Amino acid sequence: MTAEATSAESGPAVLALVEVGKHFGGVSALQGVSIEVHRGEVVALVGDNGAGKSTLLRCVAGAHLPDVGSIEVDGRPVVIRHPSEARALGIEAVHQDLALADHLDVVANMFLGREISRRIGPFGVLDNRAMRAKANEIISEFGIKIPSLRARVRHLSGGQRQGVAIGRAVGWGTKLVMMDEPTAALGVRETARVQELIKSLAGKGLAVLLVSHNLDQVFEICDRVYVLRRGRLAAERKIANTTKEEVVGLITGAFAGEAATT
């Protein structure tokens, strides 16, 4: 991969929201929100409960349609009406509940909804060998630590389960991965591992949008941060140019912030 390909600023943003608004009845969940995520970047989305973080992710993942504004992928306006349309655009979401099938093994979970089959005469049968090979490839390419591909997911630790959920999201021509609190349920060592995995995704040129309440984590692995407050964008900062104290103040409203210009 060339230096240019991994530069956060080269080419159009993988994802851009332009003045996006979303109401639920009388509640303005998002109002005039514009953000960008470039390839090779880990971008944090922070804000108090109810600030609109999950609504923003759902708009990009095809679970909600914005009322106003537009979403652009690689510089082109898109309308994402369904999670399958997000997926077809190279956008994957790792939700907080992970949505894994506990009784199935690692390979089956990575292929939920996109099983590989082959034809035997008139029949299509699951091609387990091809799926295992592809799962192996993803796991080694992205450095995901899982004891065995045949392990049932219910027997894995929290961090390993997170690894499976991330593995399911990457390696399919994915351009953007969005994660909602990926380490909220994990211990210190597992958190460190998942953080390494997230950084490595950006290192491979993916764009990552990370919702996190953990500012230590945001400052350790993110390049930029957007602060949402009551549905509006309060500020955008490069991590190198801000402090945890400033970000806390922007979240709570102790610092007014400003509409971000990017």
Please check whether residue 230 is in contact with residue 50, taking contact to mean a CB–CB distance below 8 angstroms. Answer: yes
Long-range CB contact pairs, 142-145, < 8 A, 24+: 142/166, 142/167, 142/170, 142/171, 142/197, 142/200, 142/201, 142/204, 143/196, 143/197, 143/200, 144/197, 145/193
Instruction: Compute the least distance from the CB of residue 202 to Mg ion, in Å.
Output: 22
The candidate with the shortest Cα–Cα distance to 56, out of 90, 89, 18, 26, is 18
Burial of 229: CB neighbours in 10 Å, binned 0-12, 13-18, 19+: buried
User: Which parts of 50-69 interact with Mg ion (CB under 5 A)?
Assistant: 53-54
**Residue 212 interacts with Mg ion (CB under 5 A): yes or no:** no
The candidate with the shortest Cα–Cα distance to 161, out of 112, 206, 110, is 110
**Structure tokens belonging to residue 181:** 């609190």
Judged by the rule CB under 6 A, the positions of this chain that interact with ligand ADP are 24, 27, 29, 47, 49-55
Which of 40/52 has CB closer to Mg ion?
52
Alpha-carbon distance of 153 to 64, in angstroms, equals: 29
Which region among 28-36, 49-57, 75-83, 126-134 touches Mg ion (by CB under 5 A)?
49-57
Instruction: Compute the least distance from the CB of residue 68 to ligand ADP, in Å.
Output: 16
Instruction: Compute the least distance from the CB of residue 3 to Mg ion, in Å.
Output: 36
Instruction: Compute the least distance from the CB of residue 249 to ligand ADP, in Å.
Output: 18
Which partner from the list ligand ADP, Mg ion, none does 172 bind, CB cut-off 5 to 8 Å by kind? none
Which of 47/159 has CB closer to ligand ADP?
47
Which of 23/152 has CB closer to ligand ADP?
23
Which of 54/109 has CB closer to ligand ADP?
54
Instruction: Compute the least distance from the CB of residue 216 to Mg ion, in Å.
Output: 19
Which of 40/52 has CB closer to ligand ADP?
52
Positions touching Mg ion (CB under 5 A) are 53-54
